[in-house]
Amino acid sequence: MATMADKELLDLNAELALVLADYWHEIDTNGGRNASDYYMPDAEFHGPFASYHGVKKIQQFYDWRRERGARLSIHSFTNFRAHFTGDDTAETTCFMFLYAADGEKVLPTHPPITMSLLTDRYVRRDGRWLCTFRRFEHWFEGDTPVTNPDLDEE
Can you give the residue ranges of every domain in the chain?
Answer: 4-30+38-152
pLDDT, tens digit (0-9, with 9 covering 90-100), for 72-114: 999 999 999 999 999 999 999 999 999 999 999 999 988 999 9
Q: In this predicted structure, what is the pLDDT of residue 151?
A: 47
pTM for this model (two decimals): 0.90
* b/e sequence 77-108, b meaning 16+ C-beta within 10 Å: beebebeeeeeeebbbbbebbbbbeeeeeeee
Specify the CATH class of 4-30+38-152 in words: alpha beta
